[in-house]
Structure 1
Amino acid sequence: MTKRKPTVLNSDVQSASATLCIQADADILDFCGHFNHFPLLPGVTQIDWALYYAVEHLNVPSAFKGMEVIKFQEPILPDAIITLTLNWNEETQKLAFKYTSIAGEDIVVHSSGKMKLGSSSE
């Protein structure tokens, strides 16, 4: 098992925002050992994916400079279909992200936060 990224089912990319529908495939390496009898997607993986897809789709700076206002509310389980919403603020150099899913008629917020980005020379 060496897979690290989810399956992207579809995406909608604008100049400063992106919405990706992804599947957190059960065979992703990060599910192993986090927890043995109840695997869930680690928070650090969620942050990594948000940064990865922001760099890929929004051309944001790739150097992580810190986190703000991070909340992990509901676990992301293996094979979950989730929506990752990314919003880049060029002026403040902050990336806002949110992971959500649909349960019946309800929107479930799994996690959200903001990260400060910059160039690696800063």
Structure 2
Amino acid sequence: MTVMRKPTLIKQQIAENSVTLWLQVDGEIEDFKGHFPQFPLLPGVTQIDWAVYYAQQLFDSPKSFQGMEVIKFQEPILKDALVKLALTWHADKQKLHFNYTSEQGDESHTHSSGRILLG
């Protein structure tokens, strides 16, 4: 049996040092298991892992995680959510900026954002 760890990539938009990914956060993702059984939500560490993973795939950023400068979790990401992950890579500073958002009707919701140091 295959363990599902990454979301389904629906769409991507790539620019010089930024990318926007539309991700389906499938309810079968392993990281939901045991993370609040009565109210499953996507762990913050998983959100950071995905940001680093996609940055390494799309920007050829360094592979070594050096730490976090800023991190803010505002609204949980629930099973089967459709989220937008915006990444910006600043190669000169070795910093990755990320932002998870979603749309519900006419409203935009920010789930999390931060800056990751890679080296």
Asked if TM exceeds 0.5, the reply is: yes
Alignment of 1:12-23 (within 5 A): 12-23=13-24
2:80 aligns with 79
Cα distance, 1:13 vs structure 2: 1.3
Q: Given residue 65 of structure 2, which amino acid in structure 1 is its aligned partner?
A: F
Is 1:34 equivalent to 2:16 in the alignment? no
Structure 2: how far apart are the matches of 1:99 and 1:86? 9
Q: Given residue 95 of structure 2, which amino acid in structure 1 is its aligned partner?
A: K
Structure 1 vs Structure 2 CA RMSD: 0.8
Alignment of 1:46-65 (within 5 A): 46-65=47-66
3-state SS, counterpart of residue 102 of structure 1: strand
For residues 80-107 of structure 1, the C-alpha deviation after alignment (integer angstroms, 9 at most, x for no partner) is 0000000001111100000000011111
Cα distance, 1:68 vs structure 2: 1.2
Stretches of structure 2 that go unaligned for 5 or more consecutive residues are: none
For residues 5-46 of structure 1, the C-alpha deviation after alignment (integer angstroms, 9 at most, x for no partner) is 000000011221110000110000000010111000000000
3-state SS, counterpart of residue 82 of structure 1: strand
Q: How many residues align?
A: 118
Alignment of 1:86-101 (within 5 A): 86-101=87-102
Cα distance, 1:69 vs structure 2: 1.3
Structure 2: how far apart are the matches of 1:71 and 1:59? 25
1:112 aligns with 113
| Runs of 4+ more than 2 Å apart | none
2:7 aligns with 6
Stretches of structure 1 that go unaligned for 5 or more consecutive residues are: none
1:68 aligns with 69
Structure 2: how far apart are the matches of 1:34 and 1:98? 22
